[in-house]
Structure 1
Amino acid sequence: MKKKIIEFKDFNFKYRVQAEPTLKNINLTIYEGEKVLIVGPSGSGKSTLAHCLNGLVPFFYSGEMSGELRINNEDIKNKNIFELSKVVGTVLQDPDSQFIGLTVGEDIAFKLENYCVEQNEMIDRVNKAAKLVDIDKELEASPYKLSGGQKQRVTLAGVTVDEVKVLLFDEPLASLDPATGKSAMELIDSIQQKENKTMVIIEHRLEDVLHCKVDRIVVMDKGCIVADTTPNELLSTNILEEVGVREPLYITALKYSGCEISKDLKPESINTLDIEKCKDKVNDWYENTKKEESKTKNDYILELDNINFSYSPEKQILKDVSFKIRKGDIASIVGKNGAGKSTISKLICGFYKPTSGRILFDGKDIKDESIKERSEKIGFVMQNPNQMISKTMVFDEVAFGLKIRGYNKEEIKEKVENVLKTCGLYGYRNWPISALSFGQKKRVTIASILVLNPEVIILDEPTAGQDFKHYTEIMEFLVELNKKGVTIIMVTHDMHLMLEYTSNVVVLSNGQKIGDDKSTKILTNKEIIEKANLKETSLQELAIKCKIKDSVEFVNRFIDYDRRVRNI
């Protein structure tokens, strides 16, 4: 009989500053060695549930608890946060915020130092943990200089070094490129198999998590558990759609084709899908669905001409990068972690100066324009919201740009409130920013740029940490801006976003441009996918399974049809 490792019984929690409970009547049992995925929209309570598991509730976030929570068969009311950390190890969505040591080895050893473990034993355990996650060749390196995937391996080694029983992952894929995200899920799966650890994963990217087998999916909404079942059973219902969680793209394609999704279809993965039961319907849908004609192309608004950039003579970051963005386009820049995507954004905005080459805006070289002059026509939303925030309150942060531009109070109030409503933040307008989640802070920074109505908006990972509802709200707002003539450029790891919204994609690898084409052609080009750490879309895999000869055209027709259905 399986041993219970986590058990909630009639559990409730209310933060000290809130009138209503965040968690309501939670009954959940997780067994030793299970891998459980927790999904739900923002505000559903999944992060609070995680905080209860690792002791941040109630030791950091105070409030009222009722009911019972037992971890490793002990009531948490009798444990302190230090004791809980010996059972539950947490991997945060932002690895940089978890680093302590100057080297990888020091960082992994940090917990053991706190336990006063003898040096010889400490070295052995650090080496074992590093080897488990395949980071043992980087023990002398600075963790801050590693790639996104390597950073995550370091944090994972740091929490497994003292042999915790439960590993808790808070959006482990948020900052990773598609291929690295795939490797991360394979690594988590490997550790579960080798060490028989219990894995609890909180993540918005459901389809990416399901790359490897998951025992159960727990769906949360409005502080309650609305489903606790297997992936096959969950994907056979409309629960995800009802609560606002994105379902896998191949599931959406099957539904558009009129296929009935049942657990017998084995829909948990494109690899397990019993396609024979619905192949004919998918083919019929493909034959009867035509793609609409492309719109007339506009003139170019932004051009990079043979851009080179380096921080030092020893290391060149960008090498002869050239591409053009048309006025009114929604374009994306993609590539693996460290490819130079964010650097290009900063060059366009004037934060950095190119070593050589030209940046043209509306045909004019802007090399002599200041950051302030460029900001009048180019808005930039950074990946890490904490690097942009300068005010204490939400309203003041969004209003800041308008104030320094001389708008009067009535204009500022109207513009700020309209943008806050669009970004789902109106209810938080009088909140301190410090009280917001990472995803909510992200929306504040997007709102602070959107309120200025620039001609071009560059967004670095605009949907990271966003649930499907807020993701859709933000993207639909950007689409509406785009329809009014605003050009949108997105630096992203999100292949769904790239497929659904962008007309053109620039692909970078090791500081060089290796692709510049439509999103569907990029994601069906195996050479580019491999070089840029991208991932083939499940739509293409579905087309191949259904023996549709032109898988690229199938993806094209799906994206066009999906846009029309959702009125994008």
Structure 2
Amino acid sequence: MRKKIIEFKNFNFKYRVQAEPTLKDINLTIYEGEKVLIVGPSGSGKSTLAHCLNGLVPFYYRGDMSGELKINEQDIRTKNIFELSKIVGTVLQDPDSQFIGLTVGEDIAFKLENYCVEQKKMKEKVEKSARLVDIDEELQSSPYRLSGGQKQRVTLAGVTVDDVKVLLFDEPLASLDPATGKGAMELIDNIQKQDNKTVVIIEHRLEDVLHCDVDRIVVMDNGCIICDTTPDELLSSNKLGVVGVREPLYITALRYAGCDINPEMSPKSVKTLNIENCKSKVKEWFEITTISEKQKKCDTILELQDVSFSYSQEKQILKDVSFKINKGDMVSIVGRNGAGKSTVSKLICGFYKPTSGKILFDGKDIETESIKSRSEKIGFVMQNPNQMISKTKVFDEVAFGLKIRGVDENQITERVHNVLKTCGLYGHRNWPISALSFGQKKRVTIAAILVLNPEVIILDEPTAGQDFKHYTEIMEFLIDLNKKGVTVIMVTHDMHLMLEYTNNVIVLSNGEKIADDSATNILTNNEIIQKANLKETSLHELAKKCNIDNSIEFVNKFIDYDRRVR
């Protein structure tokens, strides 16, 4: 008989500051050795459920609790947060916020030091845990200097070093490039199978998580569990669409072609998908679907000419990078973690000065322009929202840029309210920012820049941590802005975003530009995919399975059709 490791019975939880419960009548059992994915829109209760598992509820986030929650067959009310941390290890979406030690080795050892483990045994455990996640070569390195994928490995080693029974991952893919995210899923899968760990994953990027097998998917909405089933069963239904969770692209393509998706087709992955009964429908859809004409922009607004940058002579970050961005373009800058994407953004905004080369705006060299001067025409939204926030209230943060520019108070209120509605934050306009989730904070920083109406806006990972509804709202707002002539540049790991919304993609690898082309051409080019740690789109794989020779045209037709019907 399988052992119950997590058991919710008629469980409810209401934060003290809220009028309604965040979790309502939760009944959920997770067994030892299972891998369970929890999905749902923002505000559905996913994070609160996770906080219940790792002890933040009720020991840090206070509130009213009813019903029953047992972890490892023990009622959580009889345990404290320290005791629960021995059972449940948590890996957060932002690894930097989880680091304690000055070196990787010290950080992994932190738990053991708290347990007063003898030093020789501690070193053995640290080395074993580091080898398990393939980070043993970096034990003397600072965790803050590692790539995003390496940081995830350090935090994973830190929570597994004392042999916890449950691994809880809160959006582990949010800051990772596609190939590194794929590797992270494989690493989690290996640890689960090797040590029979119970794994609970909370993630918006459903298709990326399903790269490896998942036992069950739990769908949450409005504080309730509305579905608890296998991936094949869930993807055969329309329940994801109802709650606003994005289904895999190949599933959407099959629906557009009029295919009847059922569990027998094994739709959990494009690789396992049995397409035989659908080939003719997909081919027919491909043949009759046309692509709408798009106007090509040709006036350059931003240009980099042979730009290089280095922090020191030993480490060069960018090497002779050149590209042009036209007025009204919507452009993605992509590449592996550490490729130099964020550095390009900071050079354009003036936070860094190029070691050599020129940056032109409207044909004019902006080397001598200050950060303030550049900010009048170039808006920048950073990847980590905590690095941008300076006010305590949401309204004040979004209004700050307008206030220091002397905008009339009535106009400030109108513009701030409009942008907050677009970003899904109007209901939180008077909230303290400290009470928001990471994803909500991200939307606040985007709103604070969008409200200024810049000529060019650069967004570093704009959709990280966003559910499909808010992702779509933000991107549609950016499209409206783009149609009014604002040039939009997005540094992103999100292949869906670059496929759907950007007309051009600049690819960086090891500080060099290796491609400047359309998204579909990039994501069907194996050489570029390998060099830049990208991931082939599942639409390309679907086209091959259906014996469609021109997979690039198939992807283009899907993206165009998808945008029109949505």
Cα distance, 1:556 vs structure 2: 1.0
The answer to whether the 8 Å contact 1:265/1:277 transfers is no
1:118-157 paired onto structure 2 within 5 Å: 118-157=118-157
Cα distance, 1:312 vs structure 2: 1.1
Measured against aligned partners, the alpha-carbon deviations of 1:136-168 in whole angstroms (never above 9, x if no partner) come to 111111111111111111100100010000000
Cα distance, 1:120 vs structure 2: 1.5
- Paired letter, 2:459: L
What does residue 203 of structure 2 align with? 203
Structure 2 residue matching 1:164: 3-state secondary structure: coil
Cα distance, 1:563 vs structure 2: 1.6
Measured against aligned partners, the alpha-carbon deviations of 1:330-382 in whole angstroms (never above 9, x if no partner) come to 10000000000000001101111111111111111111111111111110000
What does residue 485 of structure 1 align with? 485
Specify every segment of 5 or more residues in structure 1 that has no aligned partner in the other structure, as ranges: none
Cα distance, 1:255 vs structure 2: 0.6
Cα distance, 1:293 vs structure 2: 2.6
- Paired letter, 1:396: D
1:107-256 paired onto structure 2 within 5 Å: 107-256=107-256
What does residue 464 of structure 2 align with? 464
| Alpha-carbon distance in structure 2 between the residues aligned to 1:113 and 1:5 | 27
Cα distance, 1:292 vs structure 2: 2.2
| Alpha-carbon distance in structure 1 between the residues aligned to 2:49 and 2:351 | 40
1:410-429 paired onto structure 2 within 5 Å: 410-429=410-429
Cα distance, 1:105 vs structure 2: 1.0
Cα distance, 1:418 vs structure 2: 0.6
Percent identity, aligned pairs only? 81
Specify every segment of 5 or more residues in structure 2 that has no aligned partner in the other structure, as ranges: none
| Alpha-carbon distance in structure 2 between the residues aligned to 1:518 and 1:541 | 18
- Paired letter, 1:241: G
| Alpha-carbon distance in structure 2 between the residues aligned to 1:376 and 1:487 | 14
The answer to whether the 8 Å contact 1:333/1:341 transfers is yes
- Paired letter, 1:485: G
Q: Are 1:104 and 2:104 an aligned pair?
A: yes
The answer to whether the 8 Å contact 1:423/1:473 transfers is yes
TM-score, normalised relative to structure 2:
0.99
- Paired letter, 2:137: K
Measured against aligned partners, the alpha-carbon deviations of 1:405-457 in whole angstroms (never above 9, x if no partner) come to 01111011111011111111111111110110000000000000000000110
Moved over 6 A (4+): none
The answer to whether the 8 Å contact 1:51/1:57 transfers is yes
| Alpha-carbon distance in structure 2 between the residues aligned to 1:456 and 1:321 | 20
The answer to whether the 8 Å contact 1:8/1:29 transfers is yes
What does residue 59 of structure 1 align with? 59
What does residue 28 of structure 1 align with? 28
The answer to whether the 8 Å contact 1:340/1:511 transfers is yes
The answer to whether the 8 Å contact 1:14/1:21 transfers is yes
| Alpha-carbon distance in structure 1 between the residues aligned to 2:331 and 2:5 | 46
What does residue 273 of structure 1 align with? 273
| Alpha-carbon distance in structure 2 between the residues aligned to 1:366 and 1:141 | 37
What does residue 564 of structure 1 align with? 564
What does residue 533 of structure 2 align with? 533
What does residue 340 of structure 1 align with? 340
Q: Are 1:50 and 2:76 an aligned pair?
A: no
Measured against aligned partners, the alpha-carbon deviations of 1:161-192 in whole angstroms (never above 9, x if no partner) come to 10000000000000000000000000000001
User: Structure 1 residues 163-172 or 117-126, which shifts more?
Assistant: 117-126
Root-mean-square deviation (CA), in Å? 0.7
The answer to whether the 8 Å contact 1:298/1:328 transfers is no
- Paired letter, 1:248: P
What does residue 355 of structure 1 align with? 355
Q: Are 1:434 and 2:434 an aligned pair?
A: yes
Cα distance, 1:298 vs structure 2: 3.1
Structure 1 residue matching 2:311: 3-state secondary structure: strand
TM-score, normalised relative to structure 1:
0.99
Structure 2 residue matching 1:278: 3-state secondary structure: helix
What does residue 95 of structure 1 align with? 95
Cα distance, 1:458 vs structure 2: 0.3
Structure 2 residue matching 1:110: 3-state secondary structure: helix
Measured against aligned partners, the alpha-carbon deviations of 1:14-40 in whole angstroms (never above 9, x if no partner) come to 001000000000000000000000000
| Alpha-carbon distance in structure 2 between the residues aligned to 1:296 and 1:134 | 46
| Alpha-carbon distance in structure 1 between the residues aligned to 2:103 and 2:507 | 32
Cα distance, 1:294 vs structure 2: 2.9
Structure 2 residue matching 1:312: 3-state secondary structure: coil
- Paired letter, 2:278: C
| Alpha-carbon distance in structure 1 between the residues aligned to 2:187 and 2:61 | 31
Measured against aligned partners, the alpha-carbon deviations of 1:176-211 in whole angstroms (never above 9, x if no partner) come to 000000000000000011000000000000000000
User: Structure 1 residues 286-295 or 50-59, which shifts more?
Assistant: 286-295
What does residue 74 of structure 2 align with? 74
Structure 2 residue matching 1:235: 3-state secondary structure: helix
| Alpha-carbon distance in structure 2 between the residues aligned to 1:127 and 1:331 | 43
Structure 1 residue matching 2:324: 3-state secondary structure: strand
| Alpha-carbon distance in structure 2 between the residues aligned to 1:171 and 1:429 | 25
Measured against aligned partners, the alpha-carbon deviations of 1:243-265 in whole angstroms (never above 9, x if no partner) come to 01000000010011110111111
Measured against aligned partners, the alpha-carbon deviations of 1:262-285 in whole angstroms (never above 9, x if no partner) come to 111111000110011111111111
Count of matched residue pairs:
566
